Chain A
Amino acid sequence: MAQQLKQLGDSVLWTKLDSAASWARKNSLWPMPFATACCGIELMAASSSRHDLSRFGSEVMRFSPRQCDLMIVAGRVVMKMLPVLQRIWQQMSEPKWCISMGACACTGGVFDTYSVVQGIDRFIPVDMYIPGCPPRPEQLIRALLDLQDKIQNTGTVHFTEFAKRETPEGPVVFEADEIARIRNQDRMKLSLPIYNPRH
């Protein structure tokens, strides 16, 4: 037996099933572009010939969530769009990952207004964040490579690593400051003292 194995030489590669599955997945990440604003233009630039995202295996932009592995949320998400985003995220089949691209998708950016969601990670799970307004295509490629490393290092064949992420990963939906601000609007109308959550 040992002799036979030796005869096989370099024609056999030993690996773990998890590792082999992750290797296949990470090199064929098909993005679902959820582009709502100017970050979407950079996303297009990243996938076109100059920066050529297809060098890293994500050449096929699919506009159907059923055929995608990777959701790239590029741009601000308003409160009318968020239910759509959540629905598309849930329609994507496992395994799937999410990149939050740009300042608006990550934090709401400069749009600190009533209608703009202050970071998509409050409502859907996010694997990679890209800063910038808008980020350069190189940054998107960097995020993609980092995500590939993450998939290779943590991925399992039955994607059990996702089942462990039971708690929301983004900031608390209502921060203490925001609750205080909303309450104080009503208190000021009634001429009551201002409530400070830190006291």
Chain B
Amino acid sequence: MSCKDNLDKLLPGKSRTWTKFKDQDRVIVPAADLTETMRTLRDQCSMDMLVDVTGVDWLDYEGAKDRFEVVYCLLNVESGERLVVSVMLNEPDLEVDSMTSLYKSADWLEREVYDMFGITFKGHPNPKRLLLPELFAAFPLRKDYPVQGRGERHNFPVITRAES
């Protein structure tokens, strides 16, 4: 039995949107249902590995209704079945539950999503930037951030030869 049928049976009556792309099931769930859905998938559908957490900024994208999407890629190691769970978010409420209590691998992945998109994860044990310097003020993978930055790359002291 596939994950899709299983989930619909275990958590009936919840609003969720299923799509399919190249035989790959994808489901969009409301942010409030995320923890419950993920716990069910892990405990009762044997989705025992969180492969990736990433974000998408749908700003100015044709036909897009929501601004941000957080994508969770799950894998059943035994059967090889995969499922993509995603959550849509809009400003100003850019917060979802952290998955670190369910999957250890979510720790750094969620920190990277925070680093690049500014989406905060409620209950994360170490909610800091992962890749960029701590004092970096912007979220550079947002579509309204210019690729050349806002001058962060120039914000350093200049050392002349006489003083070094």
- Chain A residues packing against B (C-beta within 8 Å): 79-80, 82-83, 86, 89-90, 112-118, 122-125, 162-170, 173-174, 178, 181-182, 185
Contact = CB atoms under 8 A, between A and B. Distances in A.
Question: Would you list the 6 A-B pairs with minimal beta carbon distance, nearest first?
Answer: A114-B149, A165-B161, A125-B161, A166-B162, A168-B158, A173-B154
A99 to B, nearest CB: 14
Interface stretch (B10-18, B73-81, B99-107, B140-148): B140-148
A122 B162 contact: no
| Chain B binding surface, main DSSP class | loop
B160 A165 contact: yes
Interface of B: 132-133, 138, 140, 145-164
Contact of A173 (B138, B145, B158, B164): B158
Nearest to A116: B153
Contacts of B162: 162-166
A185 B138 CA distance: 14
Which of the listed residues B133, B149, B150, B152 has the most CB atoms from chain A within 10 Å of its own CB? B149
A113 B160 CA distance: 25
Given A79-B156, A82-B156, 4 more contacts: A79-B153, A167-B160, A178-B154, A182-B151
Nearest to A173: B154
A167 B158 CA distance: 10
A79 B133 CA distance: 8
A113 B149 CA distance: 7
B136 to A, nearest CB: 8
